Amino acid sequence: MAAAGKYTAEQIQVLEGLEPVRKRPGMYIGSTDVRGLHHLVWEIVDNAIDEAMAGHCDHITVMLQADGGVSVEDNGRGIPVDLHPTTKRPALEVVLTTLHAGGKFGGDDSGYKVSGGLHGVGSSVVNALSKKMRAEVFRDGKIYMQEYARGKPVADMKTMGKATKHGTKITFYPDDTIFDTMEFSIDAILTRLRQQAYLTRGITIAVLDEREKRPEEDKLFPRLYRFHFEGGIASYVAHLNESKERIGEPIHFEKEQPEGFVEVALQYTQTFQEHVASFANNIHTIEGGHHMTGFKSALTRTINAYARSQSILKEKDENLTADDVREGLTAVISVRLKDPQFEGQTKSKLGNAEMKTAVETVVNEKLSQYFEEHPSEGKDIIAKCFLAARARLAARAARDSVIRKGALEGMTLPGKLADCSSRDPSQCEIFIVEGDSAGGSAKQGRNREFQAILPLRGKILNVEQARLDKMLGNNEIKSLIIALGIGIGDVKDLTKLRYDRIVIMTDADVDGAHIRTLLLTLFFRYFPELIDTGHIYIAQPPLYKIARGKDIRYAYTDEQKFNVLKEWGIGEQDLEETEEVAADTEGMQEAEENFDSLTKETKKSKAPEPKKGGKVNIQRYKGLGEMNPDQLWDTTMDPENRAMLRVTNDDAEKADLAFTTLMGPEVAPRRKFIQTHAKGVKNLDV
């Protein structure tokens, strides 16, 4: 794609019609599925963001209309409406009806025009793929308006009277003969626009979802969302680290360089994950590129230099490695440049070599300055990096010794594994279950043909955040690796995998979260291929059993519980009076838990008699052990009924967020996560 930002209205010579876009939409927006549908929104919003980046607008409103249309409005200068010299048509019409006319109009060369990948393909493409579009421009005290159908003007542009504001509003209705689906995802739209708001500090992006008539104050589904981050990418980093233990406040700096503008925000956490996201002209460069390389090299250099200057690192010592200084790091790198080149498989790798130097220079300068001014945070960060270095050496030693001793070779399958009878790995799945009691339920409830159960004893695994070297010395982990059949380290052989689906099934409590943490850490660190190839799942046991007479429902989220009650005619006021009754104790409940539930105050349901049916009982499952084998099969293990999360690593950000959210000690964010992902088998990266 030609670099936009250089041409002016006069310079646009080649004006193509939009027929090719309707003939081969995939060429212009990637696909005509749900992703392609959303590209329409991104494309239009990108134009408004450009206007904001050029410093001419600070407010963007996106509305999902009840009639299926989408409108995007900014308070910028308004698309020019003067006559385009060669065509003698208003510039507005030219922009929206001709291909490759997305460049800057009016000869304004300030700011950096986004161009690359599938972005910036032109608002005319959106027009071509919309059965209807309306453009309104508020400029010079007038309202200009033109309507289009499938990319063609319905009539000439006309003035509609006086305007007191200025800006551009585009309303479009995607063409249902082009797209497979017409359903916009509010989640996808919010995620993307939130990200854009972080990257464009100070602007406000409002999203209004008018599609369903709901009360204004619906807490589960608000209609109005507003994103405005004074802190820009520093707020972004703070958001990513929300549920992690942090070291100091986010470090934030920016500088204009000859090669372009560089902005970086970073913060260390007491976790093992690294999360560094990079952007070029607001486009997420998932594959990284030269700006990323420059950042990593400057970070390693600066931290080593600082550690030496503080005599923490002695002259003879080895340096901290690039991996050591990125353990527990969350960072966002944002660059803006004139002529970005996007390369790589998905065109999401920045190819401009000069940006390495630009970022390197800025990070070297500003980060050493930060350390000088913040010695206490500096000390904590260095300590964290040293911990990573020690762990790396210890893990390597442990792994070597495990392999040397042949600990995994020739070992028979662990005794507590209840294996399945099928020997066809593609049919088989293994449930890694926490605790013997849940393990018992699972063994009884399973389909032994293709489901194997490996109970792990929580107590043993539940050593704070076990380091990896300890993990490999741990018998439970060893059993697991032997059961999987693939070895570890140099002897790893993934073709020997004995089960296609590896399902982590733990309680929805803190202990369960810990065990899941350890298992996921193990997989992320030592078997990332299993994650990349989609073999790892997290079972989703229901949170509630809701019973009314013989009608028994299971709810995996609070929202589902709410919906069931709503279906049964129990209103919101009534709901508040409905107490959750204690679990009945059938099944594999342990004596301790029995005692627990007996001593807890248990109230009977005060739910008023609903329209029909009997009293409503809501049971909140605290552990898998509370379910009898049949219930466990029905709700969690039966492939026909169950919901499972598939753990993926495609989108590091979401995976990382999900990772910490699922594992972190806070209950609320975990619920929120499951609420949005619990239907069916879902990737963590949707």
Q: Using CA of residue 79, residue 84, residue 89, residue 95, what is the dihedral sign?
A: negative
Query: Taking CB under 6 A as the rule, does residue 109 contact ligand TTJ?
Result: no
Out of 324, 507, 626, 653, pick the active-site residue.
507
Contact yes or no for 279/334 (Cβ under 8 A): yes
Alpha-carbon gap, residue 195 to 278, rounded angstroms: 12
Query: Taking CB under 6 A as the rule, does residue 507 contact ligand TTJ?
Result: no
Query: Taking CB under 6 A as the rule, does residue 105 contact ligand TTJ?
Result: yes
Alpha helices in 351-422 (DSSP H): 354-373, 375-404
Query: Taking CB under 6 A as the rule, does residue 408 contact ligand TTJ?
Result: no
Contact yes or no for 557/678 (Cβ under 8 A): yes
Judged by beta carbon, residue 94 or residue 430, the one nearer ligand TTJ is 94
Report residue 581: phi and psi, to 5°.
Answer: -85, 155
Out of 176, 509, 567, 666, pick the active-site residue.
509
For ligand TTJ, which residue of 76, 103, 111, 439 counts as binding (CB under 6 A)?
76
Query: Taking CB under 6 A as the rule, does residue 77 contact ligand TTJ?
Result: yes
Which residue from 145, 154, 167 is spatially nearest to 76, judged by alpha carbons?
167
Query: Taking CB under 6 A as the rule, does residue 198 contact ligand TTJ?
Result: no
Which residue from 54, 42, 332, 41 is spatially nearest to 203, judged by alpha carbons?
54
Judged by beta carbon, residue 47 or residue 334, the one nearer ligand TTJ is 47
Which region, judged by CB under 6 A, interacts with ligand TTJ, from 74-82, 146-154, 238-246, 671-679? Answer: 74-82
Residues ≥6 apart with Cβ < 8 Å to 443: 418, 453, 629
CB atoms within 10 A of CB 625: 24
Query: Taking CB under 6 A as the rule, does residue 108 contact ligand TTJ?
Result: yes
434 is catalytic: yes
Q: For the window 214-253, what string marks contact with ligand TTJ as x by the rule CB under 6 A?
A: ----------------------------------------
For ligand TTJ, which residue of 4, 21, 79, 546 counts as binding (CB under 6 A)?
79
DSSP string, 312-370: SS-TTSPPPPTTGGGTTEEEEEEEE-SS--EETTTT-EE--THHHHHHHHHHHHHHHHH
509 is catalytic: yes
Residues 146-185 binding ligand TTJ (CB under 6 A) are 168, 170
Query: Taking CB under 6 A as the rule, does residue 661 contact ligand TTJ?
Result: no
Q: Total number of residues binding ligand TTJ (CB under 6 A)?
A: 17
Judged by beta carbon, residue 120 or residue 439, the one nearer ligand TTJ is 120
CB 34 → ligand TTJ: shortest distance, Å? 22
For ligand TTJ, which residue of 5, 36, 40, 47 counts as binding (CB under 6 A)?
47
Query: Taking CB under 6 A as the rule, does residue 104 contact ligand TTJ?
Result: yes
Parallel, antiparallel or unpaired: strands 59-64 and 70-74 = antiparallel
Alpha-carbon gap, residue 292 to 281, rounded angstroms: 14
Contact yes or no for 259/335 (Cβ under 8 A): no
Out of 323, 511, 590, 650, pick the active-site residue.
511
Judged by beta carbon, residue 47 or residue 437, the one nearer ligand TTJ is 47
Judged by beta carbon, residue 170 or residue 483, the one nearer ligand TTJ is 170
CB 337 → ligand TTJ: shortest distance, Å? 20
Residues 119-138 binding ligand TTJ (CB under 6 A) are 123
Bridge partners (DSSP) listed for residue 501 = 429
140 is catalytic: no
Residues ≥6 apart with Cβ < 8 Å to 215: none
Alpha-carbon gap, residue 659 to 478, rounded angstroms: 23
Residues ≥6 apart with Cβ < 8 Å to 316: none
Sites of contact with ligand TTJ (CB under 6 A): 44, 47-48, 51, 72, 74, 76-77, 79-80, 104-106, 108, 123, 168, 170
Active-site amino acid positions: 434, 507, 509, 511
